[in-house]
């Protein structure tokens, strides 16, 4: 269930497309990732990549809806139908949760302070940087004071 919830959180539109497609497939249908990526019937909007489709199929496989068969998956239609309420509940819970913001930036800058930098600039930089704020700069500070 954890893998499915994570996939819905990250790739909901992909799972929406894949689940809509699976709802029309018969029990035991064989699903090949590369064929699905090339087919126009899978995507509701923009085209889906092999990786996105594989991620969605793996998430559904974790629920027992699909069975992994090497490079393909087979659909367990009764299990797919039986899991509809669980899948809907996962979506409803994720919709009700507040947006989780990542407090860390996507990129961090690493700099070294030159020995000739003004004292005021050093203070401002130390207050604004993550490593000094978190306490990782204590060794450097001790070294500079000596």
DSSP 66: E
Write down the domain spans for the chain. Answer: 2-96, 106-146
pLDDT for residue 88: 93
Alpha-carbon 56 to chain mean position: 11
Residues 141 and 146: their CA atoms lie apart, in Å, by 9
Among 130, 111, 77, 91, smallest CA distance to 8 is for 91
Residue range 42-94, pLDDT digits in tens: 666 677 888 888 899 999 999 999 998 877 999 999 999 999 999 999 999 98
CATH class given for the domain over 2-96: mainly alpha
The model's confidence at residue 41, banded by pLDDT at 50, 70 and 90, is low
DSSP 73: E
Residues 101 and 59: their CA atoms lie apart, in Å, by 23
Residues 111 and 88: their CA atoms lie apart, in Å, by 47
């Amino acid at each position: 269930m954890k893998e499915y919830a994570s996939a819905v959180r990250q790739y909901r539109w992909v799972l929406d497309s894949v689940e809509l497609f699976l709802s029309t497939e018969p029990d035991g249908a064989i699903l090949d990732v590369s064929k699905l990526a090339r087919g126009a019937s899978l995507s509701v909007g923009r085209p889906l990549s092999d990786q996105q489709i594989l991620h969605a199929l793996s998430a559904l496989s974790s629920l027992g809806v699909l069975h992994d068969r090497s490079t393909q998956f087979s659909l367990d239609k009764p299990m797919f139908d039986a899991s509809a309420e669980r899948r809907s509940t996962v979506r409803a819970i994720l919709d009700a949760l507040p947006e989780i913001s990542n407090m860390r930036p996507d990129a961090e800058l690493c700099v070294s302070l030159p020995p000739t930098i003004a004292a005021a600039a050093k203070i401002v930089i130390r207050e604004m940087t993550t490593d000094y704020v978190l306490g990782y700069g204590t060794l450097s500070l001790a070294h500079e004071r000596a």
